Structure 1
């Protein structure tokens, strides 16, 4: 652990921030403007830590929460706080992945949200970048990389909860009709469709990758199999989504944001609320309306377009 005086011109702090910039440019392919913004946000938290006598690698979750709180107290906008929080999570996640830190202090860092707020949906292009990054990683990667490609494809294609997906068995997949059977809240079973890209990922996974993973254990029936041959757990699934979102250069998201993204894109594409309700497994249509940000104005426009006496 370095002391607070290790932040000179050529000190470890400058070196690690410089390496992070190189990562953003060369590995994630972000624009120079975005890299400058990320760097500025990281430098902001490191300056806060220095004032507390801490070097970059001594920062903990308590310090990061205090940093977020200081911005709220000084009137920073919610979007600014959220952006800076995302940049710092990306920085410390990268440092941990590279072995520069034994733990990731920002892993549980969440900017405060008002009551009733839901995770933001990815834009269509960003969702495509995420699944493309997963597919490219699987192209020359490990069996776990192929499984994580399937994980991301199915979360986005079906809108199921991550717990529902990791709870599914291999025989819950019907490749002929491209559907997946899941068990939702209240033990309610439903069947959800998926598209051609997810079908391609599943075909590769079920043909060769899953058998190789199952062989490491004792013959689990699970659809998604962990590194030791058992059922993939939710924590590992969440870690995979966070890792792939960083690799794709999109907002660092959790699996639930992919569920929200799927629902939002369905509505934007013209799907009706009842169909989305069935897909998501909501008992109440009111839940679906809130979940997908369907505003009264949007309902009014739809009504005026469709009703003969509008």
Structure 2
């Protein structure tokens, strides 16, 4: 579809990662499947029809059935955002339905309470998607595994050392899948137990680190023990700069692709009894483990290669039990025992 190719070309031109472009392409394919089933031409769509699409997508109805009977809010939000950007791009270019308005004026929305430091904030009017539910934060949080208990099951379910190393890169180091797939052997320093994360635009598999600046991740012993076993075993005779390569599927020795990695992780998860496992779930678990260990948001953000501490908030998942334990161990600091003060003159008698 020419209109989709034009949009995806623009996404690449503005520096979106290959993974993001693939996601947009996948989301738009779902939208176009619905358009074809309804007999609607893309540039004649109206807002009512678009709302019908979102309803079908959410419920998992034909022609967009879902295995679970419905889709999570985060999935619906991602697909809706892709469709909105697609139409906004073509509207600016003078194509598509010019009267299809997908954003609304935030000044006409219910006012929110000002933050404590509102007078210091740089406030700028921001367009709000008409497809988003007003005044509601997404209730969805990415699931995390049961830390070492589940991770031991995953390692046991993995059939190769390469697969175990990939699991470790995401669980022990907190790497994004693109960062892991883009690793070269020269990025690993076993002597110092460090891994350098670099953004490369020329990776043959399209792998890309979301962070534009390079950063170092300290690695635990388990990661480099697996790496040593991998080097001496499965890739001893493979000539490739890439750490994660194909072991059996052609081209053997070629860098592992995104789709291969996602399918592999999901398959290992199913074998271990962890449904719908994905690479990002392991990254979230890593950050949550750090939070439970007492790391601050700034420290977690630095570990994950994030520029701002607030960026780590989305990765931190603390259960009510964690908060109860935190209260139990710190309540003596928050609510000190009241000191007994003796009034001046007490015990001295009346004068």
TM-score, with normalisation over the residues of structure 2? 0.49
- Select which of 58, 62, 69 maps to 2:64: 62
Note closer, same or farther for the CA distance 1:206–1:122 as it changes in structure 2 (3 Å cut).
same
1:288 aligns with 2:312: yes
Separation in 2 of the partners of 1:269 and 1:201? Answer: 24
Deviation of 1:241 after TM superposition, in Å, equals 0.6
Q: Which residue number corresponds to residue 198 of structure 1?
A: 223
Deviation of 1:266 after TM superposition, in Å, equals 1.6
TM-score, with normalisation over the residues of structure 1? 0.55
Deviation of 1:235 after TM superposition, in Å, equals 1.2
Q: Which residue number corresponds to residue 263 of structure 1?
A: 287
Separation in 1 of the partners of 2:234 and 2:62? Answer: 38
**Structure 1: unaligned runs, 5 residues or longer:** 1-58, 73-77, 79-113, 138-144
Give the 3-state SS of the residue equivalent to 2:197 in structure 1. Answer: strand
- Select which of 224, 238, 241 maps to 1:221: 241
Give the 3-state SS of the residue equivalent to 2:295 in structure 1. Answer: coil
Q: Which residue number corresponds to residue 161 of structure 1?
A: 176
Separation in 1 of the partners of 2:333 and 2:155? Answer: 35
- Select which of 179, 182, 188 maps to 2:197: 182
Q: Flag the structure with more relative contact order, 1 or 2, with Cα contacts below 8 A and sequence separation at least 6.
A: 1
Per-residue CA distance 1:102-154 (angstroms, 9 max, x = gap): xxxxxxxxxxxx737331111121122212322xx3xxxxxxx2211111122
Note closer, same or farther for the CA distance 1:277–1:65 as it changes in structure 2 (3 Å cut).
same
Taking only aligned residues, the RMSD between alpha carbons, in angstroms, comes to 3.4
1:122 aligns with 2:145: yes
Per-residue CA distance 1:27-64 (angstroms, 9 max, x = gap): xxxxxxxxxxxxxxxxxxxxxxxxxxxxxxxx997343
Deviation of 1:295 after TM superposition, in Å, equals 9.3
Deviation of 1:289 after TM superposition, in Å, equals 2.2
Give the 3-state SS of the residue equivalent to 1:225 in structure 2. Answer: coil
Deviation of 1:67 after TM superposition, in Å, equals 3.4
1:209 aligns with 2:264: no
Asked which structure has the greater CA Rg, the reply is: 2
Q: Which residue number corresponds to residue 92 of structure 1?
A: none
Q: Which residue number corresponds to residue 3 of structure 1?
A: none
Note closer, same or farther for the CA distance 1:65–1:196 as it changes in structure 2 (3 Å cut).
closer
Q: Which residue number corresponds to residue 122 of structure 2?
A: none
Note closer, same or farther for the CA distance 1:60–1:209 as it changes in structure 2 (3 Å cut).
farther
**Structure 2: unaligned runs, 5 residues or longer:** 1-60, 74-136, 199-208, 337-351
Instruction: Count the aligned residue pairs.
Output: 196
